[in-house]
């Protein structure tokens, strides 16, 4: 008998399995497809592999001559970019498999069928695994709805990674993180992009100043953005698709060689999990220990339908593992970083400014254009914004729009997670010349004492 059987080899599942093994437990992990889940195979990793190449392509075209690098003609090769992406994805899969083996986790390749909370069958072999605890980590699938589900050849985010040629034009529906990242990629490599968002603005969860910077960058790359716009019909026309949408009460049409539905993902909850009797509200419901309503059954990651991010799934897997091992550990979602690999990048943690309207807070911003390191990089767009409680001086939130924002955000994560104060960050010496000094400038501005602006 196993101490735990984990279904799903994505970030939540494999991290949970490894931590349980590190805690001395006998563990089996079942995965029907590729190890690494959505993130490794059709999400974070392949997207960033393609975006890295697209960003380099843009950098060479836009900056090389200014920086004294003469490269002549510059061309983008999708075939080579896809080979790079496939190498990275393959290495990541093998890396997960190596870590499972290294830590003594039994890896079972096959389709799990839950019989009850203690028994899981492998569909292909008929093998039955018995366990004291069961962890549901089934992940998610792309959301598809009318009229997209009736259109032959319509892409979801999963399909992009199988393309054999770059489309000359593409209509992307969904202006959230996925839509913005793919708009950044395709526009950077020369594809005409139409981005359609149903709500008032793209990145609807974020503050307007953050959105404005992203829109400015996309527009500069030729992206045509339509907000408050609902797709009502799609038809095939040579050589692609005609999309009819309603915008501010009027109908508009755009045409693209390809169409991409990028409105997010939904929990993957198969019938055997539903039959188990776990409580489901959008996703499988858990408490802060990652326990479901059934004793001995846990759920982590996208199957919960809450914050569907790989780094959240990983930490949920760790929390579940420690509780299965008999320790007391709870999830804390107060300082979850949100990152977007646009150009410039976006990273936010903690409270958004729009969430704190009417509250006694101080908001301070410092522009990237005033940062010395940014000037050496020929970068001008973006800012760092800090939100501070006016009475306690506790850091409530940090937003960064900047090159390397996704790396710099950890200062804010640590500050928000630990309720650090303005002085504690101000009295920490920031290295010069670095982009992190944009954060320092924003912190100095809280008291009206920014030095470099």
pLDDT confidence tier of residue 52, bands split at 50, 70 and 90: very high
Please give the pLDDT value at position 72. Answer: 85
What is the average pLDDT across 433-447?
98
Please tell me the distance from the alpha carbon of residue 141 to that of residue 189, in angstroms, as a whole number: 27
Please give the pLDDT value at position 437. Answer: 98
Q: Which helix (DSSP H) or strand (DSSP E) does residue 229 occupy?
A: strand 229-237
Alpha carbon of 346 to those of 170, 368, 383, 398: distances in Å? 23, 13, 10, 11
Q: How far is CA 415 from the centre of its chain?
A: 21
Domains and CATH numbers, the chain: 4-142+266-324 (3.50.50.60), 148-263 (3.50.50.60), 338-445 (3.30.390.30)
Residues 46 and 37: beta-carbon distance below 8 Å = no
What is the average pLDDT across 165-193?
98
Please give the pLDDT value at position 440. Answer: 98
Mean pLDDT, rounded, of the chain: 97
Please, which residues have CB within 8 angstroms of residue 447's CB and are 6 or more apart in sequence? Answer: 422
What is the average pLDDT across 25-46?
97
Q: Which helix (DSSP H) or strand (DSSP E) does residue 235 occupy?
A: strand 229-237
User: Given a cut of 90, is residue 439 above it in pLDDT?
Assistant: yes
Q: What is the pLDDT of residues 104-138, one digit of tens each?
A: 999 999 999 999 999 999 999 999 999 999 999 99
Please tell me the distance from the alpha carbon of residue 379 to that of residue 372, in angstroms, as a whole number: 10
Q: Which residues are known to be catalytic?
A: 432
Percent of the chain exceeding pLDDT 90 equals 97
Please give the pLDDT value at position 362. Answer: 98
Instruction: Note every long-range contact of 70-74, with CB atoms under 8 Å and residues 24 or more positions apart, other chains counting.
Output: none
What is the average pLDDT across 396-410?
98
User: What would you measure as the largest C-alpha separation in the chain, in angstroms?
Assistant: 69
User: Given a cut of 90, is residue 279 above it in pLDDT?
Assistant: yes
Please tell me the distance from the alpha carbon of residue 275 to that of residue 293, in angstroms, as a whole number: 13
Residues 193 and 223: beta-carbon distance below 8 Å = yes
- Please give the sequence-ordered ranges of beta strands (E in DSSP) within 314-360, or none if there are none: 338-340, 345-350
Q: What is the pLDDT of residues 144-170, one digit of tens each?
A: 999 999 999 999 999 999 999 999 999
Q: What is the pLDDT of residues 212-271, one digit of tens each?
A: 999 999 999 999 999 999 999 999 998 999 999 999 999 999 999 999 999 999 999 999
Q: What is the pLDDT of residues 383-399, one digit of tens each?
A: 999 999 999 999 999 99
User: Given a cut of 90, is residue 46 above it in pLDDT?
Assistant: yes
Q: What is the pLDDT of residues 62-99, one digit of tens each?
A: 999 999 999 988 999 999 999 999 999 999 999 999 99
Q: What is the pLDDT of residues 337-377, one digit of tens each?
A: 999 999 999 999 999 999 999 999 999 999 999 999 999 99
Please give the pLDDT value at position 384. Answer: 98
């Amino acid at each position: 008998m196993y101490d735990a059987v984990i279904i799903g080899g994505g970030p939540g599942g494999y991290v949970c399995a490894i931590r349980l093994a590190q805690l001395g437990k006998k563990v089996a992990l079942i995965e029907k497809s590729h190890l690494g889940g959505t993130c490794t195979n059709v999400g974070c990793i392949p997207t960033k592999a393609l975006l890295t190449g697209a960003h380099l392509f843009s950098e060479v075209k836009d900056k090389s001559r200014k920086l004294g690098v003469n490269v002549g003609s510059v061309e983008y090769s999708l075939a080579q970019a896809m080979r790079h992406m496939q190498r990275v994805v393959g290495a990541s899969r093998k890396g997960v498999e190596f870590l499972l083996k290294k830590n003594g986790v039994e890896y079972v390749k096959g389709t799990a069928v839950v019989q009850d909370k203690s028994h899981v069958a492998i569909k292909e072999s008929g093998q039955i695994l018995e366990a004291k605890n069961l962890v549901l980590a089934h992940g998610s699938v792309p959301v598809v709805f009318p009229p997209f589900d009736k259109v032959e050849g319509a892409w979801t985010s999963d399909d992009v990674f199988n393309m054999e040629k770059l489309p000359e034009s593409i209509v992307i529906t969904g202006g959230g993180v996925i839509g913005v990242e793919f708009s950044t990629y395709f526009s950077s490599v020369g594809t005409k992009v139409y981005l359609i968002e149903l709500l008032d603005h793209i990145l609807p969860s974020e503050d307007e100043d953050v959105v404005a910077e992203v829109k400015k960058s996309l527009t500069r790359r030729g992206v045509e953005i339509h907000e408050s716009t609902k797709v009502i019909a799609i038809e095939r026309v040579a050589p692609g698709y005609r999309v009819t949408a309603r915008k501010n009460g009027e109908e508009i049409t755009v045409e693209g060689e390809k169409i991409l539905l990028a409105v997010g993902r939904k929990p993957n909850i198969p019938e055997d999990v539903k039959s188990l009797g776990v409580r489901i509200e959008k996703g499988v419901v858990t408490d802060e220990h990652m326990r479901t309503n059934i004793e001995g059954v846990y759920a982590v990651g996208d199957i919960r339908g809450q914050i569907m991010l790989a780094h959240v799934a990983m930490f949920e897997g760790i929390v579940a593992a420690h509780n299965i091992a008999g320790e007391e550990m709870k999830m804390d979602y107060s300082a979850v970083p949100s990152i977007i690999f646009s150009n410039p990048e976006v990273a936010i943690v903690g409270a958004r400014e729009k969430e704190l309207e009417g509250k006694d807070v101080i908001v301070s911003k410092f522009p990237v254009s005033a940062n010395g390191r940014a000037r050496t990089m020929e970068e001008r767009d973006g800012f760092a914004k800090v939100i501070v409680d006016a009475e306690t001086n506790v850091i409530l939130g940090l937003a960064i729009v900047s090159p390397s924002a996704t790396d710099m955000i950890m200062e804010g994560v640590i500050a928000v997670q630990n309720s650090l104060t303005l002085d504690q960050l101000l009295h920490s010496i920031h290295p010069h010349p670095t982009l992190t000094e944009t954060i320092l400038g924003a912190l100095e501005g809280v008291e009206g004492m920014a030095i470099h602006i």
